[in-house]
Amino acid sequence: MAGGRLGFIGLGMMGMPMALAAARAGVEVMAHDATPGRAAEFVALAGEARGDVAGSAAEVGGACRVVVLMLPTSAHVASVVEELAGAMQPGGLVIDMGSSVPGETRRLAGALAARGVGLIDAPVSGSVAKAKIGTLAIMVGGGDGEFALAEPFLKTMGSTLIRTGAVGSAHAMKALNNFVYAAGLLAASEAMRLGARQGLDLGVLTDVLNASSGRNVATETKLRQCILPGSYDGGFQLGLMAKDLETAGAIAAEGGYPAESLALCRQVWQRALASLGGRADNTEIHRFLPE
Terminal C-alpha separation, the chain: 54
Among 79, 41, 72, residue whose Cα is nearest residue 57: 79
**Contact (Cβ atoms closer than 8 angstroms) between residue 188 and residue 218:** yes
Cβ atoms < 10 Å from Cβ of 23: 23
174 is an active site residue: yes
Pick the closest to residue 127 from 28, 216, 14, 212 (CA basis): 14
Assess contact for 52 and 29: CB atoms under 8 A.
yes
Q: Give 159's strand partners.
A: none
160 forms bridges with which residues in the sheet?
137
- Best CA proximity match to 225, nearest among 213, 238, 236: 236
Whether 290 and 247 have beta carbons less than 8 Å apart is answered as no
CA dist., res. 79 & res. 39, Å (int): 19
Which of 130, 132, 155, 174 is catalytic? The answer is: 174
- Containing 179, the helix (H) or strand (E) segment is helix 169-197
For residues 250 and 262, is the Cβ–Cβ distance under 8 A? no
Nearest Cα to Cα of residue 178 among 234, 231, 126: 126
Residue burial 176-201, b: 16+ Cβ < 10 Å; e: rest:
bbbbebbbbbbbbbebbeebeeeeee
User: Please, are residues 124 and 137 in contact by the beta-carbon 8 Å criterion?
Assistant: yes
Residues assigned a catalytic role:
174
